[in-house]
Homo-oligomer: A and B are copies of this chain.
Amino acid sequence: VTKGEETRTAILDEALQLASTIGFTALTIGQLADKTGMSKSGLFAHFRSKEQLQLATLEHARSRFIDRVARPTLAVSRGEKRVHELFERWLDWETEALDGGCVFVSASSEYDDQPGPMRDALVRNQQDWLDMISTVAGTAVGEGDFRADLDPDQFAFELNALMMGYHHAGRLLRDRRALERTRSAFESLLASARA
């Protein structure tokens, strides 16, 4: 890792925190200069444009997500245990990793009607995430923990919806029971999936 790469990673960490609270649309080189104390011209040398900065920040989020959620989930043995791990790791990502919670949730509303490279990157990202949930649920079918006729894509859709509901209740409404409600819904989802 060169000094230049280290600097770039440190800048992207700040950019990601900023995007999680103010959104990607508001993430500009000017905003990032204010936050990091770096010069705008220095940041332009790294990213060249607002859109390149946004894309690099989204890619950085993906990389952090893989380290914090995907990798540890796949380290757990196949089956319902791994589904639990995926859920717990996502909760950690939503509550601990970033100041403003999951950036993919907020970016989804920002870009759903805005065609362009950011939307395209986000869609690929979210499809990969849904595929991952589905695959992990599939291991629970394979191990006999979940019923054989479970539709893993339906399970992924419902778990993803639940995660969005948690973000909404916890972040916007600051509902003190948000986590409890989310865990309860997750238990119902598991119960309906079990063999």
Contacts and interface: CB of A to CB of B under 8 A. Distances in A.
Contacts of A110: 23, 106, 109-110
A166 B171 contact: no
Can you tell how many copies of this chain the complex includes?
2
Scoring A99, A100, A130, A168 by chain B CB atoms within 10 A of each residue's CB, the highest score goes to A168
A25 interface: yes
Contacts of A167: 109, 112
Interface in A163-182: 164-169, 171-173, 181-182
Nearest to A192: B188
Given A172-B108, A173-B126, A113 B165 contact: no
Closest 5 A-B residue pairs measured CB to CB? A161-B165, A112-B171, A164-B164, A106-B109, A109-B109
28 contacts: A21-B113, A21-B114, A22-B114, A25-B26, A106-B109, A108-B168, A111-B172, A112-B172, A123-B172, A126-B168, A126-B172, A154-B181, A154-B184, A154-B185, A157-B169, A157-B182, A157-B185, A158-B162, A158-B181, A158-B185, A160-B168, A160-B169, A161-B161, A161-B165, A162-B165, A164-B165, A165-B165, A192-B192
A106 B112 contact: yes
Contacts of A55: none
A152 interface: no
Scoring A106, A112, A113, A185 by chain B CB atoms within 10 A of each residue's CB, the highest score goes to A112
A130 B177 CA distance: 14
A105 interface: yes
A51 to B, nearest CB: 15
A138 interface: no
